[in-house]
Structure 1
Amino acid sequence: MAFIDKVLQTPSYKWADDDGNLVKPSPKQLWTEAFKRTNVFKSKKNWIPFINWATAVAMLPFLYFFLVDYFSWLHVGALVIYAMIVMSTHGTIWYHRYSTHRAYTFTNSVWRFVTQNLVVRTFSEEVYVVSHHVHHAKSDNPGDPYNSGAGILYCMLSDVNHQAIAKDLNETEYKKVSNFIGHTGIVINSYKKYLKWGSVANPYYTVLLLLMNWAFWFTAFSFMGGPGFACALFSGAFFWYVLVRAFNYTGHGGGQRQHVDGVDFDRSNLSINQTRPGIFSGEWHNNHHLYPDSARAGFLKYQLDMAWIYIYCMHKIGVVGRYNDSKKEFLERFGHEIGA
């Protein structure tokens, strides 16, 4: 078995049947798996899936106070902008292009930490990064942790059902997995602690960083616009955190081939370039699958890429060191198709 096939914890319904076909679990199977995976009383190794859900639940009071005590249309506008643009763009900058694909580097660890915490913190790097490497290796095939062909609920529950690392890795395999996220600056478990906690990320560090981040941003937002403004932006972070799970369903055509000539050039998978995620967060997903380690994914003239703008500007002021930019390679390869 290839290493990439062993990285993630296999769900009880398995990735594929005996004939190698994708297993499409029922909603009951998916929910049963989710509650089993988040049960920390059964095993402390379930702590990351538990934290995923606990984080969302802990955000609900902010939404409650926003709706009941601080509702205003101005705050609604701030919520929408923060969720759809700020949180989304940061997800592309930090989790996607840096943490997973190492498309650029920082000149020092201080700026790396600042970029990591530019917004209200949600996902642990481990949840996003390790599974995303598997996603690229097995896109739209059995084993893809958010395979759109298995339905939207399969994707929505993937953070607890499919994105946790395997619990039975040997020491060599564990070191390979930990190398996926070692550059992000998080505190990493030793192999002995991995056997105890079932994760690369140290649980105490993960929770402490989350609490410190929330305390900082709630205080900062309150100074900027009062507690109502803070509750609105935390509510925006909540909506992004929940709804981003649907992206790989829509971003892979809902499990159907929806490629558009002259727009989607990678036909090896179901990924498509969508205007809203592209404009709002730089997530031109088909382009990204073509050149996953590129710090820029907006290759065509109309493809605004705000994540790339941030990375490029940070490079100009000395915060970002090396970066990869595949636009020239893209145009050399496909320019004749678009008249460039």
Structure 2
Amino acid sequence: MALFDYVLEQPSYGWRDEQGNLVKPSPKQIFSEFLSRLNVFKNRKNWMTFTSWVQMFSLLPFLIVFLFFHFNWWFVAAGFIYSMILMGTHGTIWYHRYCTHGAYTFKNNFWRFVTQQLVVKTVFEEIYAVSHHVHHAKSDEPGDPYNANAGFLYCFLADANHQPINRNLSEEDYARVVNLMKHTGVTPNTYAQYKKWGSIDHPARVLLSWLLNWGFWFGAFYLIGQYLLGGQGIGLACAIFGSAFVWTAGVRTFNYEGHGKGKDKRVDGVDFNRKDMSINQIWPGYVAGEWHNNHHLYPASARSGFLGYQLDLAYVYVRIVHFLGGIDSYRDSKKQFIEQYHRPYQAQKKAIVEDQLKLQNQEA
């Protein structure tokens, strides 16, 4: 079996049935699995999924404080821009194109650290990157950890139910998984530590990183609001952290939407990848540089906005940091896309129009 067949912890309902078809669990099965995966009293190896959801709900009090005690429409706009654009683009820059696909290389660890900590962090590299490799290997097939064909809840709760790594890997396979993560800066557990905690990263390192990141950004926004916006430090900081809750909850819906909600929503001339149901969407494309169908065509490209109207803010960041000397190299598949897909499509479209005109002339 290939590593991606078993690198993730299989849910209790399995990936496929006896005939090899996708298992579509009921909501009851999904919630039961979810609660089991969060139960750290039953198994301490559930610590990462438990921490991930505690982290998200730790942002909710900030949102409540902002809405009821410091509400301000300007801060609503600031939170919207911060969460939808900055956090969304950071997710594409860091987790998607770098941690998973290595689409570019940093000059040194300083620039990698700056990019990693660029926003309020709410996603763990390990949960995202390893499972995303599997998503590309098995897109829309049984074993895809967020398979849209299995429904909304299957995708929404995937980070707990389907994305954690297998807790019973051999030492050799564990080393292979660690190798997938070595460029991210995550300090891996030893094999003995992995057997104890069921993860690549150690809980102490994750918690320390979480506290330092949140402490820095809360302090930064508090100072901005307090001294530049007339004593509104708590209001601004709570607005930003509250908006981070909205983004963190919302991003869990992306792959369900980005693969057509389990239906074929691909459009000729827009979605050129026909190997899966991924689609290019205007909203995630413009706010996060996530032109998903293009990305599935060329997953290792630092750019996925290939056509003139496809703004790619994540690629803009890569280009800026490259100009500043922080990124050594990056891959850009736009030229290849144009030559292999867009020009042939345009030529075919032109030929159809010409044939139609000829037919009309003959009939006349």
Question: TM-score band (shorter)?
Answer: over 0.9
User: Is 1:314 aligned with 2:321?
Assistant: yes
2:281 pairs with one of 274, 281, 292: 274
Rounded Cα–Cα distance in structure 2 between residues aligned with 1:7 and 1:252? 23
Query: In the TM superposition, what is the alpha-carbon distance from 1:2 to its structure 2 partner?
Result: 1.9
Q: Does 1:284 align with 2:291?
A: yes
Amino acid at match of 1:200: I
Per the TM alignment, residue 338 of structure 1 is displaced from its structure 2 partner at its CA by 3.7
**Paired residue for 1:97?**
97
The one-letter amino acid paired with 1:284 is W
The answer on 1:236 being equivalent to 2:243 is yes
Q: Tell me what 2:162 maps to.
A: 162
Q: Which residue does the alignment assign to 1:131?
A: 131
Q: Deviations over 1:213-238 (max 9, x none)?
A: 00000000111121111111111111
Normalising by structure 1, we get a TM-score of 0.99
Look up the SS of the partner of 2:178 in the other structure: helix
Contact 2:120 2:244 in 1 (8 A): yes
Deviations 1:307-334 (A, max 9, x none): 0000011101100111000001001112
Post-superposition shift, 1:337?
A: 1.6
Amino acid at match of 1:333: Q
Shift of the alpha carbon at 1:286?
0.2
Specify which of 318, 327, 335 is matched with residue 334 of structure 2.
Answer: 327
Partner of residue 266 from structure 2, selected from 252, 259, 264: 259
1:45 counterpart letter in structure 2? K
Q: CA deviation at 1:87?
A: 0.5
User: Hey, what does 2:345 align to over in structure 1?
Assistant: 337
Amino acid at match of 1:242: A
CA distance in 2, matches of 1:232, 1:246: 22
Question: Whole-Å Cα distance in 1 between the matches of residues 179 and 152 of structure 2?
Answer: 30
Show the counterpart of 2:228.
Answer: none
Q: What RMSD in Å do the two structures reach over aligned CA positions?
A: 1.0
Residue deviations 1:70-121 (CA, integer Å, cap 9, x gap): 1111111111111111100000000000000000010000110010000001
Residues 1:60 and 1:204: Cα distance change in structure 2 (over 3 Å): same
**Alignment-mate amino acid for residue 235 of structure 1:** G
Correspondence for 1:188 = 188
Write out aligned runs for 1:113-128 (5 A). Answer: 113-128=113-128
Q: Deviations over 1:188-225 (max 9, x none)?
A: 10101000000001111111000000000000011112
2:362 alignment counterpart: none
1:23 aligns to what SS in structure 2?
coil
2:34 — aligned with what? 34
The residue that corresponds to 2:10 in the other structure is 10
Amino acid at match of 2:345: E
| Residues in 2 aligned to 1:96 and 1:73: alpha-carbon distance in whole angstroms | 32
- State the identity as a percent: 57
Structure 2, unpaired ranges of 5+: 226-232, 351-364
- Matched length: 340
TM-score (norm 2): 0.92
Shift of 1:64: 1.3
* Maintained 8 Å contact 2:57/2:245: no
Offset from partner CA, 1:172-202 (integer Å, 9 cap, x none) = 0001111111111112101010000000011
For 1:181, what is the secondary structure of its paired residue?
helix
Post-superposition Cα deviations, 1:27-46, rounded to whole Å, max 9, x if no partner, equal: 11111100100111111100
Q: Distance in 2 between matches of 1:338 and 1:30?
A: 45
* Superposed CA offset, 1:103-141 (max 9, x none): 001000011001000000111100100000000000000
CA distance in 2: counterparts of 1:313 and 1:83, whole angstroms: 21
Question: Residue by residue, what CA displacement relative to the aligned partner does 1:5-32 show, whole Å, maximum 9, x if unpaired?
Answer: 1100000000110001111111111111
- Note the alpha carbon deviations across 1:134-188, whole angstroms, 9 max, x for none: 0000000000000000001100000000000001100000011111111111121
Give secondary structure in 1 for the equivalent of 2:311: coil
